[in-house]
Amino acid sequence: MGLMGWQTLYRKPNTSWKNKENKVYPYLLKDLKIDHRNQVWGIDITYVPMRRGFMYLCAIIDLHTRYVVNWGISNTMTAEWCCQLVEEAIEMHGKPEIINSDQGSQFTSLEYIELLSGKEIRISMDGKGRAIDNIFIERLWKSVKYECVYLNAFEDGVQLYRGLDNYFNFYNTERFHQSLDYETPESLYKKAA
Q: For the segment 77-126, what is each residue's pLDDT rounded down to a tens digit?
A: 999 999 999 999 999 999 999 999 998 889 999 999 999 999 999 999 98
Q: For residue 173, what are the contacts with CB-CB under 8 A and spacing of at least 6?
A: 184, 186
What is the structure's pLDDT at 191? 87
Show the low-confidence residues of the chain (pLDDT under 70): 1-22, 128-132, 193
Residue 103 in contact with residue 125, Cβ under 8 Å? yes
Q: How far apart are CA 100 and CA 98, in angstroms?
A: 6
User: Residue 92 corresponds to which amino acid?
Assistant: M
Using only the alpha carbons of the chain, give its radius of gyration.
17
What is the structure's pLDDT at 115? 97
DSSP 154-172: --SHHHHHHHHHHHHHHHH
What is the structure's pLDDT at 5? 67
Q: How far apart are CA 29 and CA 69, in angstroms?
A: 19
Residue 132 in contact with residue 156, Cβ under 8 Å? no
The single-letter DSSP state of residue 107 is H
What is the structure's pLDDT at 192? 74
Q: How far apart are CA 136 and CA 43, in angstroms?
A: 10
Q: How far apart are CA 59 and CA 155, in angstroms?
A: 21
Helix (H) or strand (E) holding 41: strand 40-49
3-class secondary-structure state, position 161: helix
Angle between the N-to-C axes of helices 110-118 and 79-93, in degrees from 0 to 180, rounded to the nearest 10: 20
What is the structure's pLDDT at 126? 85
Greatest Cα pair distance, the chain, in angstroms, is 63
User: How would you write 80-106 as a 3-class SS string?
Assistant: HHHHHHHHHHHHHHCCCCEEEECCCHH
Helix (H) or strand (E) holding 187: helix 185-191
